[in-house]
Structure 1
Amino acid sequence: MDQGNTTLLPTTGANSTQIPALVSAAHLATAVLLFITFLVGVLGNGLYLWVLGLKMRRTVTTLWFLHLVSCYLLFTLLIPFFAVYVLLGFHWVFGMALCKFLNTCISLGMFTSVFLLTLISLDRYILTHHPIWFRYHRTVSRAQKLAVGVWLASFALSAPYLAFRETQVVDGGRIICINNYALSTDWNRTEMQYLERRVHQAIFMVRFLLGFLLPFCTIAVCYGRVGLKMKKKKLAWTRKPFKVMVASMVSFFLSWLPYHLYQSLNFYKKEVPESVMGALLVIYTFTSCFNACFTPILYLFVGEKFWQVFKTSLLTLVKAAFVDDLGSSVPEYSGRHWSEVENTKLEMV
């Protein structure tokens, strides 16, 4: 996650030795959230990765979510580094190499997840509007190639941070991990500050357009067309996996909207009250962590009452969440697995 000139969370200034009480409270709340989401995220994402990777037959749908959950798990595994960074008073003790590598991985996970969510929405659109093409051309091997392409494209968009990210020694020997968009050690020159601002703006626009706005428009159009098609044919919205996919879309965009808002306000932070920036910091940290760590758990409860979840075995419930069935496609389970899913649905009626 790129944070302008900081890693994950901003300091109050490169030359500041005193952190206002309000910002300190925000940092403490953020650290607590980070540790909680790490524990929940590792368990939740690890469970889903185990079920999708080892316990279910490989289909296009399970392949999409296998890669998506891998993104979430990647993000989750990086959280302890940044939690330590916060607790040490924003003193980076992990060195220059990890400063570059960890932030590149966060950017990689963000781009990959939003691109995969876009692919999932396009997949649903093709299913309802081009069923014949869908039947003969939608294969696991092609989906795998697309997924690999997504990871490569995301890495290309994240690679600049291998150059921009670096450590800097400030007040009293404290080390911070920041972005140096001008690639210069002369931080105070007017020309360098102007260049850095321009490069920062360009990077922000690329991330906002490719990582948020364009995917949002694509997903909204696809799901709008799918909804109209199903309404026209008087098809009921399936409980699974359509609601699972919609939930993942909604949770992603609600989670990352505060992040992009915070990034845009960073360009005007001199005019924005520090209390507003501190509050927005806590909000976007919570929402982004929720997206990566709690969304897989949310899948379990989509379309079902909370208490009913506990009437079904966890493994069967997770499998039921990914039955590739929108009323027209052939179920992707067979034998014992399909019987378990059908029994699960009967129990929940």
Structure 2
Amino acid sequence: MTLPLIPPMLATPGKLPPVAQDARWAYETKQDGQRVVAYLEGDGTVLLRARSGEDITAAYPELRPLGAALGRTAAVLDGEVLALDERGRADFQLLQSRMGLAHAPGKAARQATKVPVHLVLFDVMHLAGQDLTGLPYTRRRGLLEELGLGGPHWSTPTALVGHGEEALRATVEHGLEGLVCKRLDSVYEAGVRSRAWIKIRNMRSEDVLVGGWLPGKGRLEGLPGAVLVGQRAAGRLRYVGGVGTGWSEAERVRLAELLRAAETDVCPFDPVPHVAGAHWVVPRLVGEVRYSTRTRAGMLRQPSWLRLRPDLAPEESAADLPDDLP
């Protein structure tokens, strides 16, 4: 490869820029996929590297024609590989069936016919022999859009300048993962988690019932390292995941006391989850958790603990799972 190896620039978690600075920022939809840097030599070839630097080209054979689409222009492009659901929204669970197949090209090709991917392009770091990382975001973005890269498996969505509050509200209303805010004058800081890019993840919150816990390790020995939570559906308590973050030390100690008082030998979940080392409790503690989204099986993704809900009786906790889950 004659193109320079450029690790992707990373965003810092945060919140919307102040209203007075809104016009100095661009806003892009945060996508729930796999970050990739695409290297196009200008000879029709494509090399895809994951954030780790691993060559994952073979995992996504439908993206190979991107090299021909760009023609003789050599470029290094930044983007995200997505698997879209029937509503056209990124579904990370779908994408997982495509990830990890870089060393199994035959299986990757078969999966491509079942779960095709789409590459969203949002930056260009090297173009026609020129290093663009020192240029401001607005200039790089303009050069990227001039390439006209739109195809059956790739696109260059428009970025919105200003109107951050409206952009964030739209991602919430459409059930999207979140927003990335990029300062218009920002250079491309390769491999750096920069404050010039801010990511905002839309999180949901719901009530759950605690049905078990896992012992903590190290400094958490003797305390719960995670609680196992569920929600009622079709007349039974369905396991929806383990929650291991969100407590202060005092809250964790108090929770340990409550869990020990509710211990039982009987698993309250139906069906019984395969969780090694689980301690079961009578499901009478109601808690509120924050999470990003659900898997197709109803499991919570990236859950964190918000608070106990002593104001709610167990029978009052929300039953948010569809009745037709397996």
**TM-score when normalising by structure 1:** 0.26
Greater helix percent: which structure?
A: 1
**TM-score when normalising by structure 2:** 0.27
* Larger relative contact order (CA 8 Å, sep ≥ 6): 1
